Structure 1
C-alpha cells in the first residue's frame, strides 16, 4: 500500500473513532437520535467496524426501532462473525419484538463465543425459560373458535366488599363522576380499587366497545371543542395533569385517547381503569382507540400483564386482553380529521369503508390493514419504505396526500412515536404526531402534548406540557424478567 493511502486510512480510523466517542456521549445523555446520526457518520468514514454497527443497533433499540436494530446487528455479525455483541444486540431486539425463538438462537451464539461469561449464561437461561413457557402456553391453548369468554365466568354482584374497605364505591349499576373522582384520588395515593368495582367497570366497557364499529365517526357541534391525546403508557400522574390543564372529560369537554394507554409506565392499571370509568360514566365524554400496545404479546413483555397480576388477578389479564380486542381502530372527526394510532397503508386506494369493514375482534395480525393502522410511521422521503420497527411500514407525504384526497379528508392525526416537543407536524402540514407521555420512561426528557380542535374550522391548537413527579416506582417495574436484564 502506498504511504499516502496508509496515512489516509489511519486519519479515517481516528476520525471514525472520534465520531464514535461523540456518539457514545450522546447515547449516555439519552439523546438517541443524535447518537444514531453520529454512529452513521462514523460508519460512512469506516463501514468495516463491527462496533459502530452494533452500537447503532443499541441506539435504535432505545428508540424502539427494532427492525433497524436487527439490520445493524446483522451487519456487525457479517463483518465479524466472532463478535459476541452483534448477536447479543440482535437477540435483544428480537426479544423486544416478542420473537423469542430467534432471540434464543442469538443468545446460544453468545454463549458459544463466551462460554465463561456468567452474564451471557444468565440471559440464555431466562430466554430458554421464556421459550419453554411459550411452547407450553401454545400447547394448552384452545383455538379461538372454541373459546368461551372469560366474562361469562365472572359475576361481580357476588363479590363481597369487606366492611373495612375505605376506597371508592359504585352504588348500584351507575358509574358517577363522584365515584371516578374518588377513585382517581385513591390512585393518586397509591391505593387500589376493590376488585368488585374493577370488574364492574371492565365488564360494562366490554359491552359498550363491542357495539361500536371499527371506525367511529365523532361529531363536534359548531362552537364546541374536542381534545385528542396520544400515548399515555401507564403514566398516571401525567394523565391527571392533562385533566388539570384541560378539564375532566365530560359531554362538553370530550377527549379521544389514541391508543397505548398501558405498558412501560408502572401505573397502567390506574390509567386504564380511569379511562374506562370515564367512558362508563359518559360514553360521549371519552373515545378510545386501540394502539399496538393493546395486545397480548406486548402486554406480556412491557409490563401490563405483570402489573395486572400484581394489582388485580390472573382473570383480569384475560379480561383486559379480550376487551382490548373490542377497541375501535380509528376515528374521524366531523368527516375531516382522521385519527389513528400508527398510520397509513402499504397500498393506495384504501377507503374509510374498508376500515369500517375490518373484523377487529382479534389479536393484531402481522400484516394487512389492521396491522398497518396500529404500527406504521411517517417518513420524510416520498413513497413507502420498510418500517424501522420491523412491523408495518414507513409512508411519505404523497401517500398521506392521496389518502386524504381519496376520502375527502383534511388531516391525519397519529401518535405512536415519542417526540421531543410532544408533537411534530409533517407531510406539508397534513400529518400531526401527538404523544402525551412526557419524559417517557423517566429518561427521554421529552414534553407531552395534546391537540384541541374547535368546530367548525377544526384548526389544530397544540398544547405542550412537562412531566410531573410520581411515586418512586420505576418504569417497567412489572415488565418481563429478561427484558429488565437488557434495559
Structure 2
C-alpha cells in the first residue's frame, strides 16, 4: 500500500519498505541503548517518509534518553501534527514538557489521552500523577505568598539541638567544629559501606556551606602557581563510587592538590546525597583549594524530576531538600583560571557583547531563568558549524567556533572548559582547541558505556592533560531509583 507524504507525492512500496528497514534498525540500536545510532537511523526513515508519526515519536524518545529535550519536543510536535490520533505522540510531548519543567503543558497532553481512552488505566494513572504535581506546585506557590520563606540559618536553629543516638558510630563533629581531614576520611569509608551520616552533622554541613557560599562572587578568580597542579572534573551525577575512584587515581583534595568540580553533582545517579556531602565537606575543609560550579541540575525542577529531591527526602527529610534548594542558589556560576581559562557548566551566549564583568555582576540567588546569561552559562552547548542555533535541549543556545573565538578575543582568554554533555572518551576538544568538554561520570546511568575523564592543568602553561578512566562497580542500586514516578512511567 502506498503512503502519502507532505509534498503530495506518493511513496513507492520500495520506499516504504526501506523506511521501515531503517526504523527497525533504529529500534535495535534503541533496545541496546545506543541512542545516537538510533537517532541516526530514525532520521533516515524520516528522510524517506516525513509524514510517519511513529518515526518522529520513536526519535523523540531517543532524544529524551540523550537529554536533547528541545529536539525531543520538536519531534513529538511533528508526530502529533502528522497523526493527531496517534496517542503515543502525546505521551512523548508530555515527557519532553516535563523534562523542561513545563508541567501544565504536560498535563494537557495526558488529559487528551485519558479522555480518548477513558477505560485505559495506564493513561488515567499518568494523568492523575501529573495533576498531583501541578496542584502541589500551585499549593506551594500559594503558601509561599502568605508565608515568608525561612532562611537556611533559621531552619538550622530548630535542628542543631538534635541528639545523637548511642548506637551511632559514624563520623562526628562538635557544634563548634568544622570538618577535618580525619572526618572526611571517615565519611568516605562510612559512605562506601552504604551507611548514612547522622542528620545532625548533615544539617551542620549544609548550614556551614550556606554561610560560606553566600559570601562568594558569581565568577571566582583562581590563581594557579607555575609549578602547581590543578584538576577540573565534569559532571558526577550521583555516581559516588566513581567519585571515590577519581580521588583514588588523582589523590585526595589538599592545598597542593586543588580541584574544581564543574556542576551536576546530583540527579540520575542514586548516590547523590553521598556525592554532595563529600563535595561540600571538602569545600569547607579546603575553601581556597576546592571549588564548585553550579550546573543545570542544581535546580529545583531538575531535582524534583531526576531524583535528588526524592533521595534527600528518603534519606533525611523534605526540610533538608528545601535547604539544598537555598544552598544551590549561592553556588558560583563560573571560574576564571589564571586570567586565561574560563570554566562554566554549560557554555557561551546568545550575544557577542558579554564580558567577564557581566559574569561577575550576574545575580545568581535564584532558580535558573529560561533565558539570559545565567541560563546560558548552565545550559548552552557548542556546535561544529559557525553561528548560533536554537538549543537542542530547549534551553540556552548552541554556539559555533566563531562565537567562541569572538568571546575569547573580546575577553583576552585562551580557551573555555565546560561539561554538560556525555562524551565517549569522557572529554572532547572542539572549536579549534578553544572549547573543551569534560564529563566525569563513566557509563552514565549504567547505560551509556562512555568513559569518564578529568583535566589536569599546570600553572606555567595551562596546557590541558586528559586522564581517562572506566566506571567502577557500585552496590546494586539502580540510577533514577528516586526519580519522580511519573518520569519513570513515561521514559
SS at match of 1:231: coil
Residue 86 of structure 2 corresponds to which residue in structure 1?
Answer: 83
1:178 aligns with 2:182: yes
Paired residue for 1:313, among 308, 313, 317? 317
Residue 279 of structure 2 corresponds to which residue in structure 1?
Answer: 275
Q: Distance in 2 between matches of 1:326 and 1:79?
A: 45
Residue 5 of structure 2 corresponds to which residue in structure 1?
Answer: none
Residue 376 of structure 1 corresponds to which residue in structure 2?
Answer: 380
Q: Distance in 1 between matches of 2:340 and 2:77?
A: 43
Q: C-alpha displacement at 1:382, in angstroms?
A: 0.9
**Corresponding pairs, count:** 484
Q: C-alpha displacement at 1:143, in angstroms?
A: 7.7
SS at match of 1:53: helix
Deviation string 1:109-159 (CA, Å, 9 cap, x unpaired) is 122333332221211111111111112112111389x43303223235422
Q: Within 5 A, what are the aligned runs for 1:56-455?
A: 56-142=59-145, 146-155=148-157, 157-171=160-174, 172-455=176-459
TM-score by length of 2: 0.96
Q: Distance in 1 between matches of 2:112 and 2:55?
A: 20
Deviation string 1:355-412 (CA, Å, 9 cap, x unpaired) is 0001111111111100110011111121011011111111111101100111110111
Deviation string 1:68-122 (CA, Å, 9 cap, x unpaired) is 1111111111111111111111111111222111001111112233333222121
Is this contact kept in 2: 1:250–1:284, CA < 8 A? no
1:29 aligns with 2:17: no
Deviation string 1:270-308 (CA, Å, 9 cap, x unpaired) is 000000001111112310000011111111111111111
Is this contact kept in 2: 1:84–1:114, CA < 8 A? no
Residue 475 of structure 1 corresponds to which residue in structure 2?
Answer: 479
Q: Distance in 2 between matches of 1:11 and 1:114?
A: 35
SS at match of 2:359: helix
Is this contact kept in 2: 1:151–1:319, CA < 8 A? no
SS at match of 1:19: helix
Is this contact kept in 1: 2:152–2:210, CA < 8 A? no
SS at match of 1:428: coil
Paired residue for 1:466, among 470, 480, 484? 470
Is this contact kept in 1: 2:91–2:490, CA < 8 A? no
Q: Distance in 2 between matches of 1:101 and 1:299?
A: 18
- Root-mean-square deviation (CA, aligned residues, Å) is 1.8
Deviation string 1:40-77 (CA, Å, 9 cap, x unpaired) is 11111111111111111111111111111111111111
Q: Distance in 2 between matches of 1:393 and 1:48?
A: 28
Q: Distance in 1 between matches of 2:278 and 2:489?
A: 31
1:42 aligns with 2:45: yes
Is this contact kept in 1: 2:19–2:48, CA < 8 A? yes
SS at match of 2:67: coil
Q: Distance in 2 between matches of 1:78 and 1:296?
A: 32
SS at match of 1:216: strand
Q: Distance in 2 between matches of 1:143 and 1:51?
A: 47
Deviation string 1:215-245 (CA, Å, 9 cap, x unpaired) is 0011000111100000001110000000001
TM-score by length of 1: 0.96
Q: Which runs of 5+ in 2 are unaligned?
A: 3-7
Q: Distance in 1 between matches of 2:316 and 2:282?
A: 20
Is this contact kept in 1: 2:45–2:55, CA < 8 A? yes
Q: Which runs of 5+ in 1 are unaligned?
A: none
